[in-house]
């Protein structure tokens, strides 16, 4: 890990890996140290992107093709970046984003044929920004899926794609981390909340 002044921090991992809980704890811990912090999420994070969120997360698993999803997630991301993320970074705020382009690389890029190159090309064209630091919450998808399904929300299109897909996604996140060690840190998320939170804070403090 060699990230100087990481202000744009993204959290990634399979469904139910505990990212959202950890995102809140990280925000509180950084605020306690005097940082101004914005916690946001994808898909969503701006009014327009939140509207796209319900299109992509609700309904049948085959509601959209992977290609259409790439366009929808990228459209949501562009709006989120323009209206929420970049203005906050320019104001000196630390931005914690629950999922970003690595989710598209893995979910849309790997799970229904190899579309990784399409994701990357569109990202360069329309987004052009990587996180300064990305934490991958790694855990056994059996556990993650059980947790995620226990939440019982309408937003279950991806969880409904099943265990094999979640396993492919876990490998996908780990491969991304291996390919860009200067940006990524992998956290063992299959432990108690406090233990995970301690690791997360240590990694982020070293990078900030």
Answer for the pair 50, 84: CB distance below 8 angstroms, yes or no.
Answer: no
Min separation Cβ 31 and ligand TYD, Å:
22
What pairs with residue 12 in β-bridges?
Answer: 136
| Distance, CA of 45 to CA of 42 (rounded, Å) | 6
Q: Which is nearer to ligand TYD, 35 or 130 (CB)?
A: 130
Q: Which is nearer to ligand TYD, 7 or 53 (CB)?
A: 53
Q: Which is nearer to ligand TYD, 57 or 89 (CB)?
A: 57
- Which positions touch ligand TYD (CB under 6 A)? 15-16, 19-20, 42-43, 57, 73, 98-99, 103-104, 107-108, 148, 155, 158
Answer for the pair 130, 140: CB distance below 8 angstroms, yes or no.
Answer: no
For the beta carbon of residue 37, count every other beta carbon within 10 angstroms: 19
Q: Which is nearer to ligand TYD, 86 or 208 (CB)?
A: 86
Min separation Cβ 17 and ligand TYD, Å:
7
| Distance, CA of 83 to CA of 44 (rounded, Å) | 11
Min separation Cβ 105 and ligand TYD, Å:
8
Min separation Cβ 120 and ligand TYD, Å:
13
Report DSSP state, residue 158: T
């Amino acid at each position: 890990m060699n990230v100087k002044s990481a202000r744009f921090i993204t959290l990634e991992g399979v469904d139910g890996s505990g990212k959202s809980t950890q995102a809140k704890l990280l925000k509180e811990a950084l605020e306690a140290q005097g940082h101004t912090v914005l916690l946001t999420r994808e898909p969503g994070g701006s009014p327009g992107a939140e509207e796209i969120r319900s299109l992509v997360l609700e309904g049948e698993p085959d509601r959209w093709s992977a290609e259409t999803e790439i366009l929808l997630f990228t459209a949501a991301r562009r709006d989120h970046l323009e209206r929420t993320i970049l203005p906050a970074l320019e104001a000196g705020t630390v931005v914690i984003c629950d999922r970003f382009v690595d989710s598209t690389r893995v979910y849309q890029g790997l799970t229904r044929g190899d579309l990784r190159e399409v994701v990357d090309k569109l990202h360069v064209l329309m987004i052009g920004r990587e996180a300064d630091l990305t934490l991958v919450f790694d855990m056994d998808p059996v556990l993650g899926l059980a947790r995620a399904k226990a939440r019982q929300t309408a937003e279950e299109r991806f969880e409904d794609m099943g265990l094999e897909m979640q396993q492919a996604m876990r490998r996908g996140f780990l491969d991304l981390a291996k390919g860009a060690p200067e940006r990524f840190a992998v956290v063992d998320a299959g432990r108690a909340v406090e233990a995970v939170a301690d690791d997360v804070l240590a990694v982020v403090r070293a990078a900030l």
